[in-house]
Amino acid sequence: MGIRLVRPNGREIWFRENDGWPPKMVDAAGKTRSIEDLEVQLWTADGKTQVAAVRSANMGFYLLPLKDAPWDVYPVAAEVRVVLDGQPLGPPLRIESEGVRGLYPDDVYNVVVKENTTKGSQSQ
């Protein structure tokens, strides 16, 4: 499953200084941080079991492996959490399941990170 972190306007949450690597972001306190400080987590819909957790320097893209997922049949309901320093950046994204709707292993979701949670410059 794929996750892409974006701003409310659809733009990236990261920036690069002088073509440096890894990309940077600015947290809610105004501190410049590595994009690798963010962790994206996938949880069961009841919020009790963490299925996967990933950190990435790949410009706000995260691939969460489902090899150890508790689900045998898809689609499923789930939660996606974005975490910085062990603290969630807002409420989880809930993926509901009804009929053929829900999470499938090859889905990619844009998760909006609001400006008051992480601030940042536009890409350079």
Q: How confident is the model at residue 115 (pLDDT cuts 50, 70, 90)?
A: low
Between these two residues, 123 and 59, which has the higher pLDDT value?
A: 59
**What residue segments make up the domains of the chain, in order of their start?**
2-119
Residue-wise pLDDT for 36-64, tens only, equals: 999 999 999 999 999 999 999 898 999 99
Beta-sheet strands, E only, within the chain: 2-6, 24-27, 32-34, 38-44, 50-55, 61-63, 78-84, 87-88, 93-95, 108-112, 118-119
| pLDDT above 90 as % of the chain | 78
Q: How confident is the model at residue 28 (pLDDT cuts 50, 70, 90)?
A: confident
Select from 81, 55, 54, 57 the least CA-distant residue to 68: 54
Q: What is the pTM of this model?
A: 0.88
Q: What is the mean pLDDT of residues 112-124?
A: 52
Residue-wise pLDDT for 65-75, tens only, equals: 999 999 999 99
